[in-house]
């Protein structure tokens, strides 16, 4: 059955791979599933046709026959459950991989998104200069712990899993801030993720659409 995902017609990052369709593309590449992409404009994603797929008018969405999903956590979980390659066989190891997916989305991503909001959406506000160090420290709190847990391992819990896919995808957003470089083990972890052939294919696919269209840097 053909899998169709949605992505920005023009991503604000101009193809740096930060739009969340990249993590879904990566998951599909890891498990070897072909997919098609429906591009949506910023205006179209708030119109009824897209709102039927995504109640909040965001991307990405995932269609597989009658099944329509939104939220990258749910989409990647579904992909990992349906196809070999992203979850371990052992039930406990699988539960731990899911735990890392949630940790990425619920514990690590929120302060990182706060930084994105502080820099881009609210960067012109008078309080921004005072607020930025606080936001960055909240991210550092998470990175210190994550780096300690990862230590010298390649991946968070044994072999590469959907937990790593999600964590690397979330950490990638930090590159421009320089914060990742303060944590060499995490910087190397992200680089390992980016070096996976499946990630490279996912990145190249979104870049082919977005190259040269940067709006937000």
* Interface ranges with ligand GSH (CB under 6 A): 19-20, 58-59, 71-72
Least distance from C-beta 148 to ligand GSH, angstroms? 26
Question: How far, CA to CA in Å, does 194 sit from each of 42, 43, 118?
Answer: 27, 31, 26
Minimum separation from the CB atom of position 27 to ligand GSH (A): 12
Q: How far is the CB of 24 from ligand GSH (least distance, A)?
A: 8
Contact 163, 98 (CB under 8 A): yes
Q: Would you say 114 and 140 are in contact if contact means Cβ atoms under 8 Å apart?
A: no
Taking the least distance from each CB to ligand GSH, the nearer of 4 and 188 is 4
Q: How far apart are CA 180 and CA 142, in angstroms?
A: 11
How is residue 34 annotated by DSSP?
A: -
Distance CA 24, CA 61 (A): 9
Angstrom distance (rounded) from CA 213 to CA 217: 10
In the complex, minimum distance from the CB of residue 59 to ligand GSH, in angstroms, rounded to a whole number: 4
Residue nearest to ligand GSH (CB): 58
133: left (phi over 0), alpha (psi -120 to 50) or beta: alpha
Peptide bond connecting 45 to the previous residue in cis, omega within 30 degrees of 0? no
Minimum CB–partner distance for residue 173 and ligand GSH (Å)? 10
């Amino acid at each position: 059955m053909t899998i169709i995902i949605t992505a920005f017609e023009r991503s604000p990052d101009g193809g740096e791979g930060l739009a969340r369709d990249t993590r879904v593309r990566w998951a599909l590449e890891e498990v070897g599933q072909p997919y098609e992409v429906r591009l949506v404009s910023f205006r179209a994603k708030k119109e009824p046709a897209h709102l039927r797929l995504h109640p909040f008018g965001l991307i990405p969405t995932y269609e597989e026959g009658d099944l329509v999903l939104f939220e990258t956590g749910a989409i990647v979980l579904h992909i990992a459950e349906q196809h070999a390659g992203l979850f371990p066989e052992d039930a406990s190891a699988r539960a731990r991989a899911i735990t890392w997916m949630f940790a990425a989305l619920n514990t690590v991503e929120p302060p990182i998104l706060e930084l994105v909001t502080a820099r881009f959406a609210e960067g012109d506000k008078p309080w921004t200069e005072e607020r930025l160090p606080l936001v960055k420290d909240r991210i550092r709190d998470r990175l210190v712990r994550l780096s300690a847990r990862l230590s010298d391992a390649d991946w968070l819990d044994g072999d590469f899993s959907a937990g790593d896919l999600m964590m690397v995808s979330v950490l990638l957003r930090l590159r421009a801030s320089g914060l990742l470089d303060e944590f060499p083990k995490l910087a190397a972890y992200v680089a390992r993720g980016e070096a996976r052939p499946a990630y490279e294919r996912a990145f190249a696919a979104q870049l082919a659409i977005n190259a040269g269209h940067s709006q937000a840097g």
